[in-house]
Structure 1
Amino acid sequence: MRFGVRQFELALMHRMRDLEAAKVEDALKDMGATRAELRAAHTQWTAMAHSGRAPKGRSLFRMALGPPAYEGVHQVGSLTCDVAHWRLPSWPELRFEVLLGPGGEVWNQWFVRPGGARPLSFADLVPWSCVVADVGEAFPGACHLEGSAPQHWTVGFTYEGTRYRARFVYGLYQRLDRADDDPA
Protein backbone atom coordinates (compact mmCIF):
# COMPACT_ATOMS: atom_id res chain seq x y z
CA MET A 1 0.00 0.00 0.00
CA ARG A 2 1.33 3.43 -0.94
CA PHE A 3 1.80 5.74 2.03
CA GLY A 4 0.65 9.30 1.31
CA VAL A 5 -0.87 12.35 2.96
CA ARG A 6 -4.09 10.59 4.01
CA GLN A 7 -2.17 7.76 5.67
CA PHE A 8 0.18 10.24 7.36
CA GLU A 9 -2.77 12.17 8.83
CA LEU A 10 -4.26 8.91 10.07
CA ALA A 11 -0.93 7.93 11.66
CA LEU A 12 -0.89 11.28 13.52
CA MET A 13 -4.50 10.78 14.63
CA HIS A 14 -3.67 7.33 15.99
CA ARG A 15 -1.46 8.99 18.62
CA MET A 16 -4.02 11.79 19.16
CA ARG A 17 -6.58 9.17 20.19
CA ASP A 18 -4.61 8.87 23.43
CA LEU A 19 -6.04 12.21 24.58
CA GLU A 20 -8.92 13.16 22.30
CA ALA A 21 -10.62 9.97 21.06
CA ALA A 22 -13.96 11.66 20.26
CA LYS A 23 -12.29 14.27 18.05
CA VAL A 24 -10.45 11.53 16.17
CA GLU A 25 -13.67 9.55 15.68
CA ASP A 26 -15.32 12.66 14.18
CA ALA A 27 -12.33 13.18 11.88
CA LEU A 28 -12.45 9.56 10.74
CA LYS A 29 -16.11 9.99 9.77
CA ASP A 30 -15.29 13.21 7.89
CA MET A 31 -12.48 11.45 6.01
CA GLY A 32 -14.53 8.32 5.32
CA ALA A 33 -11.84 6.32 7.13
CA THR A 34 -12.16 3.34 9.42
CA ARG A 35 -10.42 2.48 12.69
CA ALA A 36 -8.75 -0.39 10.83
CA GLU A 37 -7.33 2.10 8.32
CA LEU A 38 -6.14 4.29 11.22
CA ARG A 39 -4.33 1.33 12.82
CA ALA A 40 -2.86 0.21 9.50
CA ALA A 41 -1.51 3.71 8.78
CA HIS A 42 0.09 3.90 12.22
CA THR A 43 1.63 0.44 11.82
CA GLN A 44 2.99 1.25 8.37
CA TRP A 45 4.44 4.64 9.43
CA THR A 46 6.09 3.10 12.49
CA ALA A 47 7.56 0.29 10.38
CA MET A 48 8.93 2.77 7.82
CA ALA A 49 10.36 5.05 10.51
CA HIS A 50 12.29 2.14 12.05
CA SER A 51 13.20 0.23 8.90
CA GLY A 52 16.81 0.01 7.88
CA ARG A 53 15.75 0.13 4.22
CA ALA A 54 13.32 3.07 4.30
CA PRO A 55 14.47 6.65 3.70
CA LYS A 56 15.41 8.64 6.81
CA GLY A 57 14.97 12.22 7.96
CA ARG A 58 13.49 14.66 5.47
CA SER A 59 13.45 11.97 2.75
CA LEU A 60 10.95 9.87 4.69
CA PHE A 61 8.58 12.83 5.03
CA ARG A 62 9.08 13.76 1.35
CA MET A 63 8.21 10.21 0.35
CA ALA A 64 4.93 10.39 2.29
CA LEU A 65 3.98 14.05 1.88
CA GLY A 66 5.70 15.23 -1.28
CA PRO A 67 7.82 18.36 -1.45
CA PRO A 68 7.56 20.67 1.56
CA ALA A 69 5.66 23.95 1.27
CA TYR A 70 8.65 25.62 2.91
CA GLU A 71 12.30 24.75 3.53
CA GLY A 72 14.80 26.88 5.39
CA VAL A 73 16.97 27.11 8.47
CA HIS A 74 15.97 27.68 12.07
CA GLN A 75 18.13 28.91 14.93
CA VAL A 76 17.78 26.90 18.15
CA GLY A 77 20.03 28.52 20.73
CA SER A 78 23.53 28.39 19.27
CA LEU A 79 22.59 25.64 16.80
CA THR A 80 21.31 26.08 13.29
CA CYS A 81 19.06 23.33 11.96
CA ASP A 82 17.12 22.74 8.78
CA VAL A 83 13.35 23.12 8.88
CA ALA A 84 10.66 21.89 6.51
CA HIS A 85 6.90 22.58 6.61
CA TRP A 86 4.08 20.66 4.98
CA ARG A 87 0.41 21.59 4.59
CA LEU A 88 -2.05 18.90 5.68
CA PRO A 89 -5.72 18.98 4.59
CA SER A 90 -7.14 18.17 8.03
CA TRP A 91 -5.37 21.18 9.59
CA PRO A 92 -5.26 23.82 6.81
CA GLU A 93 -4.37 26.78 9.08
CA LEU A 94 -1.32 24.99 10.49
CA ARG A 95 1.88 23.49 9.10
CA PHE A 96 3.52 20.23 10.06
CA GLU A 97 7.10 21.13 10.88
CA VAL A 98 10.13 18.86 10.89
CA LEU A 99 13.37 20.15 12.45
CA LEU A 100 16.49 18.37 11.25
CA GLY A 101 19.92 18.23 12.86
CA PRO A 102 23.25 18.71 11.08
CA GLY A 103 23.34 15.03 10.07
CA GLY A 104 19.79 15.13 8.70
CA GLU A 105 18.28 13.36 11.72
CA VAL A 106 14.80 14.42 12.84
CA TRP A 107 15.06 16.45 16.03
CA ASN A 108 11.40 17.39 16.31
CA GLN A 109 8.15 17.03 14.42
CA TRP A 110 5.01 18.90 15.29
CA PHE A 111 2.37 21.37 14.18
CA VAL A 112 3.19 25.08 14.09
CA ARG A 113 1.27 28.17 13.09
CA PRO A 114 2.69 30.03 10.08
CA GLY A 115 3.69 33.53 11.12
CA GLY A 116 4.01 32.65 14.80
CA ALA A 117 1.63 32.40 17.74
CA ARG A 118 -1.86 33.86 17.54
CA PRO A 119 -3.64 35.71 20.34
CA LEU A 120 -5.55 33.24 22.46
CA SER A 121 -7.99 33.46 25.36
CA PHE A 122 -8.86 30.73 27.84
CA ALA A 123 -12.17 30.20 26.00
CA ASP A 124 -10.20 29.58 22.77
CA LEU A 125 -8.74 26.35 24.16
CA VAL A 126 -10.68 24.05 21.86
CA PRO A 127 -9.18 20.72 20.73
CA TRP A 128 -7.19 20.94 17.49
CA SER A 129 -7.50 24.75 17.37
CA CYS A 130 -4.08 25.83 18.61
CA VAL A 131 -0.45 24.82 18.96
CA VAL A 132 2.15 24.85 21.74
CA ALA A 133 3.42 28.33 20.83
CA ASP A 134 -0.12 29.79 20.96
CA VAL A 135 -0.64 28.61 24.54
CA GLY A 136 2.89 29.47 25.63
CA GLU A 137 2.48 33.06 24.44
CA ALA A 138 -1.08 33.52 25.71
CA PHE A 139 -0.51 32.71 29.37
CA PRO A 140 2.29 34.57 31.19
CA GLY A 141 4.52 32.24 33.15
CA ALA A 142 3.59 29.21 31.05
CA CYS A 143 6.19 26.45 31.28
CA HIS A 144 6.89 23.57 28.96
CA LEU A 145 6.81 20.13 30.56
CA GLU A 146 7.44 16.62 29.33
CA GLY A 147 4.49 14.76 27.89
CA SER A 148 3.27 11.39 29.11
CA ALA A 149 4.02 9.45 25.90
CA PRO A 150 5.97 9.77 22.65
CA GLN A 151 5.01 12.90 20.68
CA HIS A 152 3.09 14.30 23.69
CA TRP A 153 3.84 17.76 25.10
CA THR A 154 2.46 19.63 28.08
CA VAL A 155 2.30 23.35 28.82
CA GLY A 156 1.60 24.26 32.43
CA PHE A 157 0.04 27.63 33.24
CA THR A 158 -2.13 29.42 35.80
CA TYR A 159 -5.41 31.07 34.91
CA GLU A 160 -7.52 32.96 37.48
CA GLY A 161 -5.61 31.31 40.32
CA THR A 162 -6.02 27.74 39.06
CA ARG A 163 -3.13 25.70 37.69
CA TYR A 164 -3.72 23.90 34.39
CA ARG A 165 -1.88 21.58 32.05
CA ALA A 166 -2.61 21.92 28.36
CA ARG A 167 -1.98 18.60 26.61
CA PHE A 168 -0.66 18.38 23.06
CA VAL A 169 0.10 15.60 20.59
CA TYR A 170 2.49 16.50 17.78
CA GLY A 171 2.24 20.06 19.11
CA LEU A 172 -1.53 20.22 18.44
CA TYR A 173 -3.76 21.05 21.43
CA GLN A 174 -5.88 18.12 22.62
CA ARG A 175 -7.26 18.82 26.10
CA LEU A 176 -6.94 20.78 29.32
CA ASP A 177 -6.48 19.24 32.77
CA ARG A 178 -6.46 20.92 36.14
CA ALA A 179 -2.94 20.44 37.48
CA ASP A 180 -4.26 19.65 40.98
CA ASP A 181 -6.19 16.65 39.58
CA ASP A 182 -3.21 15.36 37.64
CA PRO A 183 -0.44 13.33 39.28
CA ALA A 184 1.95 13.76 36.29
Structure 2
Amino acid sequence: MRFGVRQFELALMHRMRDLNPQRVEQALADLDASRAELRAAHAHWTRLAHSATAPKGRAALRMALGPPAYAGTTPFGSLTCDVTRWRLPSWPELEFEALTGPGGEVWNLWFVRPGGDRRLSFADLTPWECVVADVGASFPVSAQGEGAAPHHWAVDFTCAGTSRRALFVYGLYQRLA
Protein backbone atom coordinates (compact mmCIF):
# COMPACT_ATOMS: atom_id res chain seq x y z
CA MET A 1 0.00 0.00 0.00
CA ARG A 2 1.39 3.38 -1.01
CA PHE A 3 1.21 6.04 1.67
CA GLY A 4 0.15 9.30 0.00
CA VAL A 5 -1.75 12.50 0.68
CA ARG A 6 -5.09 10.81 1.40
CA GLN A 7 -3.52 8.42 3.90
CA PHE A 8 -1.59 11.26 5.53
CA GLU A 9 -4.77 13.30 5.97
CA LEU A 10 -6.49 10.28 7.50
CA ALA A 11 -3.54 9.75 9.87
CA LEU A 12 -3.89 13.39 11.02
CA MET A 13 -7.63 12.93 11.48
CA HIS A 14 -7.01 9.89 13.66
CA ARG A 15 -5.40 12.16 16.26
CA MET A 16 -8.03 14.90 15.71
CA ARG A 17 -10.70 12.36 16.60
CA ASP A 18 -9.46 12.67 20.22
CA LEU A 19 -11.06 16.12 20.50
CA ASN A 20 -13.58 16.37 17.69
CA PRO A 21 -14.98 12.96 16.71
CA GLN A 22 -18.08 14.42 15.04
CA ARG A 23 -16.00 16.58 12.67
CA VAL A 24 -13.82 13.58 11.79
CA GLU A 25 -16.91 11.48 11.05
CA GLN A 26 -18.15 14.23 8.74
CA ALA A 27 -14.77 14.36 6.98
CA LEU A 28 -14.73 10.59 6.56
CA ALA A 29 -18.12 10.78 4.85
CA ASP A 30 -16.91 13.65 2.65
CA LEU A 31 -13.85 11.60 1.65
CA ASP A 32 -15.88 8.40 1.24
CA ALA A 33 -13.50 6.82 3.75
CA SER A 34 -14.26 4.30 6.46
CA ARG A 35 -13.13 4.16 10.07
CA ALA A 36 -11.14 1.07 9.10
CA GLU A 37 -9.28 3.13 6.46
CA LEU A 38 -8.64 5.82 9.09
CA ARG A 39 -7.19 3.23 11.50
CA ALA A 40 -5.15 1.60 8.73
CA ALA A 41 -3.65 4.95 7.69
CA HIS A 42 -2.70 5.75 11.27
CA ALA A 43 -1.18 2.29 11.78
CA HIS A 44 0.78 2.55 8.51
CA TRP A 45 2.16 6.01 9.42
CA THR A 46 3.11 4.71 12.88
CA ARG A 47 4.91 1.71 11.36
CA LEU A 48 6.82 4.02 9.01
CA ALA A 49 7.83 6.24 11.94
CA HIS A 50 9.27 3.25 13.81
CA SER A 51 10.76 1.41 10.84
CA ALA A 52 14.54 1.21 10.66
CA THR A 53 14.48 1.54 6.86
CA ALA A 54 11.72 4.11 6.19
CA PRO A 55 12.62 7.77 5.65
CA LYS A 56 12.41 9.96 8.74
CA GLY A 57 11.47 13.57 9.47
CA ARG A 58 11.04 15.87 6.51
CA ALA A 59 12.00 13.05 4.12
CA ALA A 60 9.02 10.99 5.35
CA LEU A 61 6.70 13.94 4.79
CA ARG A 62 8.11 14.49 1.30
CA MET A 63 7.64 10.77 0.54
CA ALA A 64 3.95 10.97 1.54
CA LEU A 65 3.09 14.48 0.33
CA GLY A 66 5.43 15.13 -2.59
CA PRO A 67 7.26 18.40 -3.16
CA PRO A 68 6.43 21.14 -0.66
CA ALA A 69 4.52 24.28 -1.58
CA TYR A 70 7.10 26.28 0.38
CA ALA A 71 10.61 25.70 1.67
CA GLY A 72 12.66 28.29 3.53
CA THR A 73 14.28 29.16 6.83
CA THR A 74 13.27 31.04 9.96
CA PRO A 75 15.17 32.19 13.03
CA PHE A 76 14.30 30.34 16.22
CA GLY A 77 16.19 31.87 19.11
CA SER A 78 19.87 31.68 18.22
CA LEU A 79 19.29 28.94 15.61
CA THR A 80 18.09 29.01 12.05
CA CYS A 81 15.49 26.35 11.32
CA ASP A 82 14.16 24.97 8.08
CA VAL A 83 10.48 25.50 7.35
CA THR A 84 8.66 23.28 4.87
CA ARG A 85 4.95 23.53 4.07
CA TRP A 86 2.50 21.43 2.11
CA ARG A 87 -1.05 22.11 0.94
CA LEU A 88 -3.58 19.42 1.82
CA PRO A 89 -6.93 19.06 0.02
CA SER A 90 -9.01 18.74 3.21
CA TRP A 91 -7.71 22.11 4.47
CA PRO A 92 -7.31 24.23 1.31
CA GLU A 93 -6.79 27.59 3.07
CA LEU A 94 -4.06 26.27 5.35
CA GLU A 95 -0.67 24.63 4.98
CA PHE A 96 0.86 21.81 6.99
CA GLU A 97 4.23 22.98 8.31
CA ALA A 98 7.29 21.06 9.44
CA LEU A 99 9.88 22.99 11.43
CA THR A 100 13.20 21.17 11.47
CA GLY A 101 16.33 21.84 13.45
CA PRO A 102 19.93 22.07 12.24
CA GLY A 103 20.38 18.27 12.35
CA GLY A 104 17.25 17.66 10.28
CA GLU A 105 15.14 16.48 13.22
CA VAL A 106 11.51 17.58 13.17
CA TRP A 107 10.77 19.97 16.01
CA ASN A 108 7.18 20.82 15.22
CA LEU A 109 4.38 19.74 12.89
CA TRP A 110 1.26 21.85 12.60
CA PHE A 111 -1.10 23.77 10.40
CA VAL A 112 -0.42 27.42 9.64
CA ARG A 113 -2.17 30.06 7.62
CA PRO A 114 -0.07 31.08 4.60
CA GLY A 115 0.45 34.81 4.53
CA GLY A 116 0.01 35.18 8.29
CA ASP A 117 -2.67 34.90 10.91
CA ARG A 118 -6.30 36.00 10.52
CA ARG A 119 -8.15 38.23 12.99
CA LEU A 120 -11.21 36.48 14.38
CA SER A 121 -14.18 37.32 16.52
CA PHE A 122 -15.28 34.76 19.09
CA ALA A 123 -18.09 33.71 16.72
CA ASP A 124 -15.48 32.99 14.01
CA LEU A 125 -13.90 30.15 16.02
CA THR A 126 -14.90 27.35 13.68
CA PRO A 127 -13.41 23.86 13.97
CA TRP A 128 -10.83 23.06 11.29
CA GLU A 129 -10.74 26.63 9.99
CA CYS A 130 -8.55 28.39 12.59
CA VAL A 131 -4.96 27.88 13.67
CA VAL A 132 -3.10 28.69 16.88
CA ALA A 133 -1.71 31.96 15.48
CA ASP A 134 -5.22 33.15 14.54
CA VAL A 135 -6.38 32.87 18.16
CA GLY A 136 -3.19 34.47 19.47
CA ALA A 137 -3.58 37.46 17.14
CA SER A 138 -7.31 37.83 17.80
CA PHE A 139 -7.23 37.66 21.58
CA PRO A 140 -4.07 39.50 22.68
CA VAL A 141 -4.19 38.31 26.28
CA SER A 142 -3.62 34.66 25.39
CA ALA A 143 -1.18 31.98 26.45
CA GLN A 144 -0.22 28.82 24.59
CA GLY A 145 0.40 25.55 26.34
CA GLU A 146 0.78 21.88 25.66
CA GLY A 147 -2.31 19.76 25.36
CA ALA A 148 -3.15 16.45 26.98
CA ALA A 149 -1.65 14.24 24.23
CA PRO A 150 1.03 14.37 21.54
CA HIS A 151 0.37 17.06 18.92
CA HIS A 152 -2.30 18.70 21.10
CA TRP A 153 -2.13 22.41 22.02
CA ALA A 154 -4.23 24.63 24.22
CA VAL A 155 -4.60 28.39 24.03
CA ASP A 156 -6.04 30.17 27.05
CA PHE A 157 -7.59 33.54 26.29
CA THR A 158 -10.16 35.99 27.58
CA CYS A 159 -13.17 37.15 25.60
CA ALA A 160 -15.76 39.59 26.98
CA GLY A 161 -14.37 39.08 30.48
CA THR A 162 -14.68 35.27 30.35
CA SER A 163 -11.69 32.93 30.43
CA ARG A 164 -11.70 30.39 27.60
CA ARG A 165 -9.49 27.52 26.46
CA ALA A 166 -9.28 26.62 22.77
CA LEU A 167 -8.06 23.10 21.99
CA PHE A 168 -5.99 22.28 18.91
CA VAL A 169 -4.55 19.20 17.25
CA TYR A 170 -1.61 19.77 14.92
CA GLY A 171 -2.25 23.49 15.44
CA LEU A 172 -5.77 23.20 13.97
CA TYR A 173 -8.68 24.38 16.12
CA GLN A 174 -10.94 21.55 17.30
CA ARG A 175 -13.18 22.93 20.06
CA LEU A 176 -13.41 24.90 23.28
CA ALA A 177 -12.65 23.07 26.51
TM-score, normalised by the number of residues in structure 1 = 0.95
In structure 1, give the amino acid aligned to 2:167. Answer: R
Q: Give distance in 2, aligned partners of 1:37 and 1:169.
A: 20
Give the C-alpha shift of residue 77 in structure 1: 1.8
In structure 2, give the amino acid aligned to 1:81. Answer: C
Which secondary structure state, in structure 2, belongs to the residue aligned with residue 52 of structure 1? coil
- Aligned residue number for residue 53 of structure 2: 53
Give the C-alpha shift of residue 26 in structure 1: 0.4
In structure 1, give the amino acid aligned to 2:171. Answer: G
- Aligned residue number for residue 27 of structure 1: 27
Q: Give distance in 2, aligned partners of 1:28 and 1:65.
A: 19
Which secondary structure state, in structure 1, belongs to the residue aligned with residue 92 of structure 2? coil
Q: How many residues align?
A: 177
Which secondary structure state, in structure 1, belongs to the residue aligned with residue 93 of structure 2? coil
In structure 1, give the amino acid aligned to 2:53. Answer: R
Task: Spell out, residue by residue over 1:14-45, the C-alpha distance to the aligned partner (whole angstroms, 9 max, x if none).
Answer: 00000000000000000000000000000000
In structure 2, give the amino acid aligned to 1:7. Answer: Q
Which secondary structure state, in structure 1, belongs to the residue aligned with residue 88 of structure 2? coil
User: How do 1:1-184 residues align onto structure 2 when only pairs under 5 Å count?
Assistant: 1-177=1-177
Q: Give distance in 1, aligned partners of 2:106 and 2:140.
A: 30
Which secondary structure state, in structure 1, belongs to the residue aligned with residue 62 of structure 2? helix
In structure 2, give the amino acid aligned to 1:107. Answer: W
- Gapped regions of structure 2 (runs ≥ 5): none
In structure 2, give the amino acid aligned to 1:133. Answer: A
Of stretches 99-108 and 70-79 in structure 1, the one that deviates more from structure 2 is 70-79
Task: Spell out, residue by residue over 1:90-147, the C-alpha distance to the aligned partner (whole angstroms, 9 max, x if none).
Answer: 0000000000111101000000000110111100011011000000110011001111
Q: Give distance in 1, aligned partners of 2:161 and 2:143.
A: 16
Give the C-alpha shift of residue 75 in structure 1: 1.1
- Gapped regions of structure 1 (runs ≥ 5): 178-184
How many percent identity over aligned positions? Answer: 72
- What CA RMSD, in Å, does the superposition of the two structures yield over aligned residues? 0.6
Q: Structure 1 or 2: larger strand share? A: 2
In structure 2, give the amino acid aligned to 1:86. Answer: W
In structure 1, give the amino acid aligned to 2:34. Answer: T
Which secondary structure state, in structure 1, belongs to the residue aligned with residue 145 of structure 2? strand
TM-score, normalised by the number of residues in structure 2 = 0.98
Which secondary structure state, in structure 1, belongs to the residue aligned with residue 91 of structure 2? coil
Where in structure 1 do 4 or more consecutive aligned residues deviate above 3 Å? none
